[in-house]
Amino acid sequence: MKSSPLLLCFLMAATTALAGFDLATPRAPVAAKKPHDVTVHGDKRIDDYFWLREKGSPAVVSYLEQENAYTEAVLAPAQELRAALYREMVGRIKEDDTSAPVPYLGYAYYTRTEKNKQYPIYCRRADRAGAAEEILLDLNAMIGAHTYIAVGHYRVSDDGRRLAYSVDWTGYRQYEVFVLDLATHALVPQHIGKVADLEWGAGSDVLYYVTENDAKRSDRLHRWTLSAAKHEQLYEEKDELYNLGVRKTRDGRYLLCEAASKITTEVRALRATDATGQFKILLPREENHEYHADFREGRFYFVTNRDAKNSRVMTAPEARPADWTELVPHRPAVKITGLELFKDYLVLAVREDGLPHLEIFAFATGTLKRLEMPETAYEVEPDRNWEYDTPELRFNYQSLVRPPTVYAANFATGERRVIKATEVLGGFDAKNYRSERVWVAARDGVKVPVDLVYRAELDRSKPQPFYLYGYGSYGVSIPDSFSSARVSLLDRGIIYAIAHVRGGGELGEEWREAGRMERKMNTFNDFVDCAAWLVQHGWTSPQQLVTSGGSAGGLLMGAVLNQRPDLFQAALVQVPFVDVLNTMLDATLPLTTEEYVEWGNPNLKEQYGWMRAYSPYDNLKPAAYPHLLVLVSYNDSQVPYWEGTKYLAKLRTVKTGANALLLHATMGAGHGGAAGRYDALHDVARNYAFFLTALGIAR
């Protein structure tokens, strides 16, 4: 029998004394200490757990398996809760479902799912009455003996004859490329590996692709002429701060190869019909100049931060790409985050006051108009718009209380229609939930936006269980997105919130710069200040406050917990970047050198000092840390599994108190966790059960 939310709130109070982790019977694994000197710049550091980096070692695998067994034993009392959460979450999704169809060259392309099948099926259907469905890729059939499968790139040639797609078989985000003949559904015999990006030239005989080196830096651009089985390297990017990408403009006229660091870009262009030519630089790179290029109707268009902190739009004739004319001027309060070009319109994705917006520029009239959104906090972004000459913009809208909906908005009139609204089953009604934004003054007076969602009837007169999430790096704006799984927490009386701390991009480029390099500490201080404010203003209490973050957000968690371990009851630390110094000092590791302009270069003593001050692994201390569940993935190429593993092993040697310190290692996946949708929900159920147990909520 289902319990009502109000009954669940009662159960929360009634079961607090009974709930908890089983810490009496199982014994936590003890990682062997093997001192390894990692001293740099005269700063004496001994790493006892450096040996855990030995991927493939039987001792490492055995240790991870012991940690997994221990975590399952400690969480054993919550097995029924986990099962109930999983049933609820599956019960809200439409298991047999179809994505919004994307029109292109007389076909509608879409994915669909089938009940009890883990992976999507990629399909198309001709745009005519009675046309039969064509299955192009069925990942459920393709996975075979592999334990992981995910599609990376998916490109239909502009003559509609071939599909180029890439597959990751391990979770390491290392993609193998295949080409499918869409008439016969036969694969072209040759395929290529370690591909980071790809794009068709004109027609379906020439494919451009970018490969990555052993450190997973995308550094080489190639051309593959399929009919001649010929591969040729066109360009190698030797600067270790830069990665390459390749794409084709929507009108099909140009291929663009962008070399990008975290703060500088350079774009090369080649006519799509020129199957033997070389890419030519549009504007040479200049330090701290970020620009992105596009093309339509004989002109290049640029989003640039030159003399415009939050970017402006410039345009230039095809023959003179450096001869710029301003089209959309810089607006200091508005950050341009993206540009979409169509035959008669330009669409800007922008952010203002911490919120995303879409703006439409009409070339015929020279007017810029913003699409209105119905809520005060939400997420909106262009959806898949494959066609160039179209009267409509497809965009995706959602919020913390409203499931994703794909709309088509008429460029000229603004009138919009629903293409696909995500159905949430199980009696979900958005009117039962409330979302709001508060602004928190950080310790230096800067206001930080925090977005919250909770049950509408929740008693706000007293502190409530609270889940605070954060990220705050790379200029990434964390979306106020909907989660049907999260409803299981909201219906148990938990408030969920996102703290949009500095280092992210929510309030423009200044917000990003205020939380990187020598000012990175602002990110951690902001999050602590937001949590403390929520306690001070009666939203919650330290005994009712749980938190999480992943990847760079895992760095956030580690730094925050070192600063204020007393402020939280529990933390979920996901694929965490916590061994900052050791990782950034090893240039052979994936993604390390290119991030010198995000965190700093620890080979330089001053910049080493910035990172030394907050590196979670190096600043663990004797303290009563909250309950912790640390998640790592064995095939993670972004943050190696050993970072979180070492972190927890060391934490057990210094922490005081008796709280649970748990590690779960996913052995067959990468940075994003499980690829199968049911496997992913099992993981969410485990994580939620951990939080609920820590909060004393047993049902």
Q: Is the dihedral of CA 297, 298, 299, 300 positive or negative?
A: positive
How far is Cα 431 from Cα 424, in angstroms, rounded to an integer?
Answer: 13
Question: What stretches in the chain show pLDDT beneath 50?
Answer: 1-19
The reported pLDDT for the residue numbered 285 is 97
In 3D space, the residue among 237, 238, 258, 236 whose CA is nearest the CA of residue 247 turns out to be 258
The reported pLDDT for the residue numbered 17 is 32
- Provide CB contacts within 8 A for 276, sequence distance 6+: none
| Cβ atoms of residues 62 and 54 within 8 Å | no
CA-based radius of gyration for the chain: 26
Place of tokens 């989660």: 483
Running DSSP on this structure, what letter comes out for residue 567?
G
Residues involved in catalysis: 551, 636, 671
H or E segment and range at residue 257: strand 254-260
How far is Cα 592 from Cα 383, in angstroms, rounded to an integer?
Answer: 32
Give the strand order in the sheet containing 243-248: 243-248, 254-260, 265-271, 280-283
Count of alpha carbons within 13 Å of 270, Cβ hemisphere only?
24
How far is Cα 492 from Cα 222, in angstroms, rounded to an integer?
Answer: 53
Residue 370, both tokens: 């913003």
Amino acid type, 641: Y
All structural domains of the chain, each given as residue ranges with its CATH number in brackets, are: 5-91+429-694 (3.40.50.1820), 100-145 (no CATH), 147-296 (2.130.10.120)
CB atoms under 10 Å from CB of 591, counted, come to: 15
Amino acid type, 207: L
Tell me how far the alpha carbon of residue 344 is from its chain's centroid: 32
